[in-house]
Chain A
């Protein structure tokens, strides 16, 4: 198990990385690519959707990247990365068979144990779909453990949509209610147009047994949370994942801190209840 593999070396050097091989690369948009990875030696490792890895490209550095696969995907793990800087740029230049360094998994993932037996409303905005794809895959693999499942997906335009092959499947699943909206449509677009917030009032749900899982750009949270509270979902059942600069992953370097909280240790997934009193959170 990777987690224990990593735990074995942590006492000596928590900054040591393990080698992982790129076994497939799949470009989704002009900026985003999915990388399927496997630890060298084929070691499996356990993780929870919502957790992240520290990804190393030696010479360019290290950055925290969300896992976008599900632990039920055996034999590999996946990350989806937007090309925005030197490290992600270098990663985008790599091909199948290349090696990168990984550490992790770090942080707290989605509270899946709490989700069991409850209804799930997944709300993904922009790149927020990346960690949520891992959760969606997990739910689909263990479908019977959950109640009603609804997915609301929002992105800028149809060509910005990630995982479009899988999104199409989600749309066809009879046991998943799926809605999608784009800010700007093209002539072929048949779905909704407008902000994701506009979809929430029309959703039918039982607030007391619904967990809303929201991941998206910072600006989205305020508006979505307001709509969810209006629906009567308790703050302890609104789950968010926050982006921060989680440089070391070990609760030391300080970059990811929200007030007194180290996101790399206590997050990146939080209950809204626990964020209400943290001024720097949302």
Chain B
């Protein structure tokens, strides 16, 4: 198959319905005035006209609660908790969330690698969808460079003039397209349309940060004691919404749950948040990251400083979820811009 093919919108839903045979399909679906990723039974439930879902699709490859270990106390035994991982299709993923998947990949593939994550990811087929217009004032995908496809998908859909242009990025991608006569070759004219669409996006999508990422990194390297953190920390209510909805937050806690017989049980991992006040507290009572100022700063540094040093990758995807969900109206773009402004002022001696 060619690397670029296309499908008309008329046939598109037929094809979506055919995906079932490749596993459960998770896709954006309307929920009240917003959208969520949910399993869909047929294409009528799908709604691709959406801005970021409440939760990122990480819940499917890094579940909120997952079992790690089966145990019994007497006789003392342990066993693998999950016997089988299932094939699934993650459908209609925006490019910001694809960047999130790539970040998680880097973390969980790093030695010692995480078999649960890898097993799930190996069975996941990812279908991306390109955004054609900026979503809302909370996103910062342009500054983060994630408003255009940068890999991380099996196929990518771009809607152009009554059709979807499909970019194939893997064998898995080819597998879900094969055998459908309505999937057509892309003509040169179609490719030209795609090129001009991307050019047009450069005009429509405006950078949200007042500086380039290299400047952002420098600012974070220098301003860990900035008053900006005091302001953010004072407003923060410590609810942990920002980390829950973040596509690149992966911290977790490990807990045991016993059956009613108090002998057999499961060890789980649960999403946890560095914004919780007991996150860095040890049994002896010492808290190694006390106060919301340092905990908020930590969250930001885990997006704009530490992962760059470690993986050469920004862990903010620009999806805007943390700002959208914040009860205290802490806005990521504002925070970053305030830091940049402060740094520029300091540099010129104001």
Contacts and interface: CB of A to CB of B under 8 A. Distances in A.
Contacts of A14: 112, 114-115
Interface in B260-276: 262, 265, 267, 269, 272, 274
Contacts of A254: 250-252, 272, 274, 279
A24 interface: no
A61 B288 contact: no
A15 interface: yes
Interface string A96-128: 000101000000000000000000000000010
B78 interface: yes
B65 interface: no
Contact of A61 (B114, B255, B274, B309): B255
Interface stretch (B69-77, B177-185, B190-198, B211-219): B69-77
Contact of A260 (B76, B250, B301): B301
Contacts of A23: none
A61 B310 CA distance: 30
A190 B107 CA distance: 54
Given A13-B69, A101-B78, A253-B254, A244 B114 contact: no
B288 A12 contact: no
A107 to B, nearest CB: 12
A112 to B, nearest CB: 23
Interface string B228-270: 0000000000000000000000111111101000100101010
A187 interface: no
Given A59-B258, A247-B254, A10 B112 contact: yes
A252 B107 contact: yes
B327 interface: no
Chain A residues touching B, range? 35 or more
Nearest to A261: B306
Interface in A50-75: 58-63
A82 B282 CA distance: 13
B224 interface: yes
B68 A63 contact: no
Contacts of B80: 12-13, 16
A92 to B, nearest CB: 13
A103 to B, nearest CB: 10
B280 A245 contact: yes
A19 interface: yes
Contacts of A257: 274, 280, 298
B189 interface: no
B1 interface: no
Nearest to A82: B284
A251 B301 contact: no
Interface in A209-229: 217-218
A252 B68 CA distance: 14
Contacts of A217: 286
Contacts of B298: 257
Interface string B101-114: 00000011010111
A192 interface: no
A15 B69 CA distance: 7
B71 A218 contact: no
A99 B281 CA distance: 28
A4 to B, nearest CB: 14
Contacts of A247: 252-254
Contacts of A99: 76
A29 B224 CA distance: 43
Contacts of A245: 279-282, 288
Nearest to A126: B284
A52 B279 CA distance: 20
B78 A255 contact: no
Given A10-B112, A253-B252, A15 B68 contact: yes
Contact of A11 (B115, B258, B282): B115
A10 B115 CA distance: 9
B310 to A, nearest CB: 6
A259 interface: yes
Contacts of A88: 283
A17 interface: yes
Interface string A76-92: 00000010110110000
Contacts of A260: 301, 305-307, 309-310
B20 interface: no
B289 interface: yes
Interface in A2-34: 10-17, 19
A279 interface: yes
Contacts of A250: 112, 114
B252 A84 contact: no
A280 interface: yes
A63 B282 CA distance: 10
Contact of B73 (A11, A59, A63, A279): A59
A218 B280 CA distance: 14
12 contacts: A12-B115, A13-B68, A16-B78, A17-B71, A59-B258, A61-B255, A245-B279, A251-B112, A252-B108, A253-B253, A260-B307, A260-B310
Interface of A: 10-17, 19, 58-63, 82, 84-85, 87-88, 99, 101, 127, 217-218, 243-245, 247-248, 250-255, 257-260, 279-280
Leading 6 A-B pairs by shortest Cβ distance: A260-B306, A254-B251, A15-B68, A99-B76, A58-B71, A85-B283
Interface of B: 68-69, 71-73, 76, 78, 80, 107-108, 110, 112-115, 224, 250-256, 258, 262, 265, 267, 269, 272, 274, 279-284, 286, 288-289, 294, 298, 301, 305-307, 309-310
